[in-house]
Amino acid sequence: MNARTKRTLRIGLPILLAAFFGWYTFSKLPIDQIIPYFKSANYGWIGLGMLLGLLSNLSRAYRWKYLLAPMGYSVKLPNSIMAVFIAYLANFGIPRSGEVLRAAVLTNYEDVPFQKAFGTIIAERMADMLILLGIVAITLLIQFDFIYGLLESAFQPKKLVLIGTIGVILSILVFLYLKNSASKIALKARNFVRGLLEGILSIFKMEQKWLFIFHTLFIWTMYVLMFYVTTLAVDDLSGVSIGALLIGFIAGSFTIAATNGGIFVYPLAIGAAFSIFDIPENPSIAFGWIMWASQTLMIIVLGSLSFLFLPIYNAKQKLK
């Protein structure tokens, strides 16, 4: 597969998936039953959710400075903030393109080499993934009996043990192969894993690593609180359990990472996650749309303003 084909698939496939899920969503969506939830929603809670989302994004922009400082770059905070919002806006068009554009902003306006700026973005994504995996682990602990019951009803315990044993054996065989093989695939895999470890460990070599860790925890705390307070906007979701909230949050987070900002897919993921806990479908999907729409509106407004004011701000800085 040549580079052009890969690029076409990387851009076109998410767009096609978004179109498919959009058609599927609206073909199955009882719009007349969901619109009333928008009309009756408590927009005070929605506004608070948007504020928490804004705080998480501002914290992300400030955290970025800690990764750039060890390399000798002290970037202006407004540039970091606008780069973050531009990146989120770009991801609605082409998934993960925002990371490239975000690094390019610092290259153009702060003279940070692109590869270094992009490397710091990869490092912070690793930190974010660790936190998300931590949330998954906490959810498994809180809902262990419930999740085990679901697995037990879908698979026989003996099959689960067999699948787990096979998985462990395969993992060991793959590890031994990658460790000892001299093939190109093994070499690339070892270099990739080595880079991941180096990126993760570099976080702990920073002079202000504890502030970096604080901001990372703050960002994800705001994400979870944002999700929780927005559920309060829908009356029929009052009293949702912490387990349902966490599983819904995790499902939504993965759809945002895997698609164009979760467009069309996010509400379906929330509906599917909440249905496990016998939460009615209509308010669940309505909440998914309210949650997605409110955060998307914030990104569109602030991302567009960032595109507009980024060159203006930096032109003024040169005149000083």
Q: 236: Cβ–Cβ under 8 A, 6 or more apart, which residues? A: 37, 280, 283
Predicted TM-score (pTM) of the model is 0.78
- pLDDT greater than 80 at residue 149: no
What pLDDT was estimated at residue 16?
58
- pLDDT greater than 60 at residue 82: yes
- Per-residue confidence at 320, pLDDT binned at 50, 70, 90? low
Mean per-residue pLDDT, 42-64 = 95
Per residue in 87-108, pLDDT (tens digit) is 998 887 776 778 888 988 998 8
Per residue in 2-20, pLDDT (tens digit) is 666 655 555 555 455 555 5
Mean per-residue pLDDT, 155-161 = 63
Cβ pair 178, 190 in contact under 8 A:
yes
What pLDDT was estimated at residue 60?
96
Q: 83: Cβ–Cβ under 8 A, 6 or more apart, which residues? A: 61, 101, 102, 105, 106, 306, 310
The count of other CB atoms within 10 Å of the CB of residue 135 is: 16
Backbone angles phi, psi at 3, to 5 degrees: -65, -35
